[in-house]
Amino acid sequence: MAETCLEELVVDRVFTRGFTITTAESCTGGLVAATLINISGASDVLDSGYITYSNEAKEKLLGVSHETLKKYGAVSEQTAVEMAQGAARAAEADVAISTTGIAGPGGGTREKPVGLVYIGCYIQGTVYTRKCNLPGERKEVREAAVKEALTLLLEHL
């Protein structure tokens, strides 16, 4: 499936269901929202997105709990879930995609290596998650994370 098809399918499916969508992005830095905006008609479903690169921004803008960040870290399934829930709540959206991970080249550890990305996908109260270990340089990790996020969303819409 070509990348252009992926974002087109997402925008179309969100629109067809009468939903709105938002994003909460850390490691992708707005690339999920930018990818959706490539599609004409995205403004019918996407009202806002959040780039929450720091822990403080995750807490302040999305309501991610300080305890979650302290116990599990920013790069965790728990944080991805709270980011997606918080974005949906803040934007009053039906659907939210969150990304948090380590794009590299630095920042990785044995427990959390470069390329580790957690994706959260909130759809009307239910959150689905995916853990990815993505190969490549920083740019490739970020682009692959976008593709994984949009794929996860399509699987559950």
In one-letter notation, the amino acid at residue 34 is A
pLDDT digits (tens, 9 = 90+) for 1-22: 444 589 999 999 999 999 999 9
Share of the chain above pLDDT 70, in %: 97
pLDDT at 4: 52
| Rounded Cα–Cα distance for residues 106 and 33 (Å) | 25
CATH 3.90.950.20 assigned to 3-156:
yes
Rounded Cα–Cα distance for residues 83 and 115 (Å): 19
Burial of 35 (0-12, 13-18, 19+ CB in 10 A): buried
